[in-house]
Amino acid sequence: MMAKTSIEWLAMSDNSIISVIGGYIKHQRLIQNKTQATIAEAAGINRWTLSKIENGEPISLMSLIQILRALDLLEILNIFETQTQISPLELAKLEKQKRKRASSEGNIDKQNKSEW
């Protein structure tokens, strides 16, 4: 039997999601062999705040970011990065504007001014 590889976030309550996030933070902290006090101090928060999230209780988004920074886990926020997508029409316009040939007009003056 195969292990479940992804969490069904849509089926979970908000409290369950907070609990999963807290478990992740606790797991990462223990992997790094750091105490709650150490992470809390590095994050600039109370140890109580860290304990709250690890126990599945809600904390502020600012505190979560500070904890992730202290654990050197900010890269997990890359999922929130948005990328601008160019419409097919805009892409066609850009392609049309690309240079097709090199021009020698600008190079003639440079060649005449050369000291060689």
For 54-81, the pLDDT digits (tens) are 999 999 999 999 999 999 999 999 998 8
Q: pTM here?
A: 0.68
Considering the chain, what is the average pLDDT of its residues?
87
Q: HSE-up of 12 (CA within 13 Å, CB side)?
A: 12
Specify the CATH architecture of the domain 11-79. Orthogonal Bundle (1.10)
